A and B are shown apart, each in its own frame.
Chain A
């Protein structure tokens, strides 16, 4: 097996995922009339939603910040950088078996997904704080913040459902985030550039030091 995500990355991913789940469900109760009517207790749901929202960026920030975050920082760099192969990947009909496209640790879809979530978290946090503590802002800005919070929430629901759908369709990739490793076959066929990179590294390590 080839290690893919270390403990720090997996802990950051799953705590963030849990917070997203809480926020999406309490958000639905606060937003959608039928759910509001079904559950009521607005003050309770509001408190849970606000505190989960404030905590939302914490797992990733803690993961990135310390000595322990070296691999997470490196993966953020990989997600940031786009190559010609990413453009090629988008043009492929069959994106799961990329064929000649030399995919690295993340394919272009994963890059889009991670980048969207990073931006969405910042936007939701900023607009959410405006809704919770509206006093400094004019009514037009409050209405604007509500507008943004609502439409980004729709985007997030779509992105999360899509993310889960793709994860379920590819159990080995999902295993990378649950157990932390993937099979060499998967790495070689679906992330060939990353496969060369990691096998190269281990060969370098195994080579005996010259005497």
Chain B
């Protein structure tokens, strides 16, 4: 057959571009977020929100977006505690706030750089209820009716584990798990349960929604799900 095999070269070139993107994509992503992100933030149409630059992907495991207004919201703390609690949104905001700025890392790979969170330490909420001797773990439930998560008591008492109510200086929206969610900075995103409804103090760890589907219960970023090279 006559002609040059340009098709094959283009095909291999695409594969090369794909491989280069896998190797250096996280650097390119960071660059784009720093240099292009600020311009996209000024775009009023909202269309640029679809570009894969500095964006969260919205994960919801149920059929509809859960919604609860600030006035009707309640956080229940129960189980092995001295005094079961029912906190309103206002009561949570009245507690000592903590801010954190960290990269948000999904186990599947997407990452949003330098995300600003605000909330109260989970440990402070637990202290208010009074954890009883013999308690070892926490079980979290979402008011989406399906999602659950877990932490050991030791993990829950870290300073970088928040009951969060603000993201990037704004009240948490429904899509991001508002009014109140968990933010567990050292772990992959699936641990940070959205639409937090109930904290149950238990004597053993009960694996959560994605953990029943194969992900690790202890989800340290870079030190779980088969990785041990990147201790935080």
A139/B10 in contact, CB under 8 A: no
Bound complex: CA A39 to CA B61 (Å): 10
Interface residues of B (CB under 8 A from A): 1-8, 10-11, 13-15, 17-18, 21-26, 28-29, 49-52, 55-65, 105, 107-111, 174-175, 213, 221-222, 225-227, 229-230
Interface majority SS on B: helix, strand, loop or mixed? Answer: loop
Bound complex: CA A142 to CA B106 (Å): 9
- With A36-B58, A145-B25 known to touch, is A134 a contact of B7 (CB < 8 Å)? no
Bound complex: CA A112 to CA B10 (Å): 8
A81/B3 in contact, CB under 8 A: yes
Question: Which of B18, B57, B60 lies at the interface centre, i.e. has the most chain A CB atoms within 10 A of its CB?
Answer: B18
A41/B52 in contact, CB under 8 A: no
* B residues less than 8 Å from A132 (CB atoms): 108
Chain A stretch 126-154: residues in CB contact (< 8 A) with chain B: 126-127, 130-132, 134-148, 150-152, 154
CB distance from A163 to the nearest CB of B (A): 16
A116/B14 in contact, CB under 8 A: yes
A101 within 8 A of B: no
* B residues less than 8 Å from A141 (CB atoms): 22-23, 26, 109
- With A80-B7, A127-B22, A148-B22 known to touch, is A139 a contact of B111 (CB < 8 Å)? yes
Bound complex: CA A112 to CA B6 (Å): 10
Bound complex: CA A30 to CA B61 (Å): 11
Q: Which of B1, B14, B58 contacts A81 (CB 8 A)?
A: B1
- With A80-B7, A147-B28 known to touch, is A139 a contact of B52 (CB < 8 Å)? no
A210 within 8 A of B: no
B229/A147 in contact, CB under 8 A: no
Q: Closest A-chain residue to B51, C-beta based? A: A154
A82 within 8 A of B: yes
Q: Closest B-chain residue to A84, C-beta based? A: B3
Q: Which of A117-125, A170-178, A184-192 contacts B (4 or more CB under 8 A)?
A: A117-125
